Amino acid sequence: MSVPARAYLSIGEVLAKLRNDFPDVTISKIRFLESEGLIEPQRTPSGYRKFTNHDLDRLRYVLGAQRDQYLPLKVIKDHLEALDRGLQPPALPGGSPRVPRVASVDGVMTPESFNDQSDLRLSREELIEATGLAERQLSELESYGLISIRGRHYENDALSVGRAVAAMAGFGIEPRHLRAFKSAADREVGLIEQVITPLLRQRNSEGRERADEVQKELASLSVALHAALVRTGLRRMR
């Protein structure tokens, strides 16, 4: 999606916005931080820098970390890389990025629970550490299709699935026992797809927006129905 022209800031406008909090900042400083790879503003065809609010936020983070924490640029760059992957920077020097908690499958699921939340990007080692899964368990989950990698990283859903499976392992439940969950979820997705496909075929923004609303609504109803059926089944055991 193209960004409106005035969504961009010139280097002079960026400088003016930073000056209140960082009176010593200069254009040369901003250019230096760009040369070190901490920001990557776009360029006009004539070569002028075009900064976004994201660039401005990164500059605030860099300048604040230098001034308040006396962090070297290499460490700040590592912090930014962690933030870009949805992680929290290390609490202590030399530490590892921290994985934030993500929404659990517990509690009430609403349509908003199915908004795209794929900002988190974890390495295999980070996913194992954050979930408590063993390497063997993760490989099994991947072979059964319960967890998948996108590109070079795992996303929010992989973390949620991994944490749930690791907790269930404490009750003797292994990944191979969970293939039915994946099959049931695939059938539910297929049913939702049948409903929204006619809306997507309209090939206009209204159809796509309505398809997105219906998809989220049906997804939350599907989870609610599943939970109700499980509760009903458990009552029969009493």
Tens of pLDDT along 142-181? 999 999 999 999 999 999 999 999 999 999 999 999 999 9
Confidence band, pLDDT 50/70/90 cuts, at residue 113: low
55 is written with which tokens? 């660039």
Give the mean pLDDT of 182-188. 93
Count CB neighbours of 119 within 10 A.
Answer: 12
CA distance 73 to 18: 18
Please give the residue that has the higher pLDDT: either 28 or 113.
28
**Pick from 176, 135, 128: which is nearest to 154 by CA?**
128
CA distance 38 to 56: 11
Tell me the per-residue pLDDT of 46-85, one tens digit each, with 9 for 90 and over. Answer: 989 999 999 999 999 999 999 999 999 999 999 999 999 9
Looking at the predicted structure, is the pLDDT value of residue 91 above 80? no
160 is written with which tokens? 């949620």
CA distance 90 to 78: 9
Looking at the predicted structure, is the pLDDT value of residue 1 above 70? no
Tell me the per-residue pLDDT of 2-52, one tens digit each, with 9 for 90 and over. Answer: 444 457 899 999 999 999 999 999 999 999 999 999 999 999 999 899 999
Looking at the predicted structure, is the pLDDT value of residue 227 above 60? yes
Please report, for the chain, the start and end positions of each structural domain, with discontinuous segments joined by +.
Answer: 5-84, 111-236
Which neighbouring-strand residues pair with 153? 150
- Around 74, how many Cα atoms within 13 Å sit in the side-chain half-sphere? 2
Protein fold of 5-84: Multidrug-efflux Transporter Regulator; Chain: A; Domain 2 (1.10.1660)
The answer to which of 75-84, 97-106, 209-218, 226-235 has the lowest mean pLDDT is 97-106
3-state secondary structure 159-181: HHHHHHHHHHHCCCCCHHHHHHH
116 is written with which tokens? 């795209």
Kindly report the average pLDDT of the chain as a whole number: 88
DSSP conformation class of 92? S
**By the 8 A CB rule, do 115 and 83 touch?**
no
The DSSP result for 68-127, as a single string, is HH---HHHHHHHHHHHHTTPBPPSSTT---BPPP---SSS---GGGGS------B-HHHH
